[in-house]
Structure 1
C-alpha cells in the first residue's frame, strides 16, 4: 500500500506542488498580501504542464495568461495606489458600466476560446473549458485591479471546475478547487470589510 501511495505521489508531484502553492496563493490573496503574485506565478507555471498533459488546453492557456497577469498584478499592487492612499491599493466596487463591459468581454472570450477548442484541439469538454477559462481571465484581471466582485466569479468557477476535474480524474486538483471555493467565500467576506465605495 505504501508503495502504491509513493508511486502515485511521484507520478503526480507537479500537480501536488501546484495544488499546495495554489492554496498558499489564495491565502495571500485573501490577506491582500503582495506575495499573492509571486506565488501565483509559480502555481500557474506548474499548472501549464498539468493541464497540457490532461488535454485541458484552454485551462493551459489560462495558466499562461496567469503568469502574465501575475506580473501585472504584482506591479499594480505595488505602484497602482493614488498619492493619498497610504498603505495599498484599496478594495473597490466595479461601476455598472464596467460590469457590462466585463460581461461582454466574458462572452467574446468564451466564443473565441470555444471556436479554438472545437476546431484546433482534441478537447472532449470544449464548452466547459471555454466557459471557465473566459470567466477566469476576467476574474483575474479584476483581482489585479482589486475589484471585490472577482470573488463572486471565483466561487462559481471554482465549484464548477471541481466537477470538471472530477470528470478528468485530477484528484489533487479537485481537492484544490473545493478548497478554492471555500476560500473564495472567505475572501469575499474578508475583502468586504475593507471595501471602499468612493
Structure 2
C-alpha cells in the first residue's frame, strides 16, 4: 500500500519532498482559517502558495503554477480587503454573490481557461488529459479564490468542485501528499460552507426590522 502511494517519490530530491509537505501543512492551516472566517487564512496561504509556485515551476505544471501565483496575489488583496472597517464594524462581511459579480465570475473563468490553454500550447504541453482537466480546474479555482477574497459564501462551492477533481488529478500526476491534501480540503470546504451559511443566516436575522 505504501509503495503504491509513495513510490513516485523515490527519485525526488529530499528538499522537494520536504517543501511539498510544508506547503501542504500551511495549505491545510489556510483552509481551516478560511472555514473559521479568520484573517490568518491569508498569511498561511501565502507561505503555501509561494512554495507551490516554486515546486510547480520545477515540475513544469504551468496551470497549477499559475493557480498558485494567482492565489498568492489574491491573498495579499484578500488580506487587505478583510481588514477594512467602517468604525468598529467589518466593511465587507460574509455575503451572497450579486448578479454583477456572477457576470465577472464567468468572464474570469473564460479568460483563465483560454489563457491556460494558450500557455500549454505555447510550451507544447497540451498533450495529455492532464492539460484539459488542469485548464478547467484552473478556471474553477480562480473564481473560488476571487470570491473568497471578496468574502462571498459561494466561494466554497467552487472550492468543493475543484478539490474533488484535484484529488485524482494530483494522484495521477504522482503527487500523493498533495492529493491527500485535497481530500482534506474537500471535507473542510463542506464544513466551511455550512459554517459561513450559519453566520450569514444569523446576520440576516439581526438585520430584520423589529415589529
**2:14 matched to which residue of 1?**
10
Q: Select which of 99, 110, 122 maps to 1:119.
A: 122
> Which whole-Å deviations, capped at 9, do the CAs of 1:16-55 have from their partners, x for residues lacking one?
1111111100011111111111100000011112222332
Number of positions where the alignment pairs a residue of Structure 1 with one of Structure 2: 194
Deviation at 1:119, TM superposition (A): 2.4
Counterpart position of 1:131: 136
Q: 2:105 aligns with which of 63, 77, 102?
A: 102
* Matched position secondary structure for 1:103: helix
Runs of 4+ aligned residues of structure 1 deviating over 4 Å after TM superposition are: none
Distance 1:58-1:189 versus aligned 2 partners, 3 A rule: same
- Return the structure number with greater relative CO, CA threshold 8 A, min gap 6: 1
Which residue matches 2:175? 170
For residues 27 and 135 of structure 1, what CA distance do their matches in structure 2 show? 20
The correspondence for 1:186, drawn from 160, 172, 191, is: 191
- The TM-score, its normalising length taken from structure 1, stands at 0.88
TM-score under structure 2 length normalisation: 0.83
Please say which of residues 28-37 and 125-134 is displaced more in the overlay.
125-134
| 2:89 alignment partner, SS class | coil
Any stretches of 5+ residues in structure 2 without a counterpart? none
Larger radius of gyration: 2
Asked if the contact 2:108/2:142 (under 8 Å) is kept, the reply is no
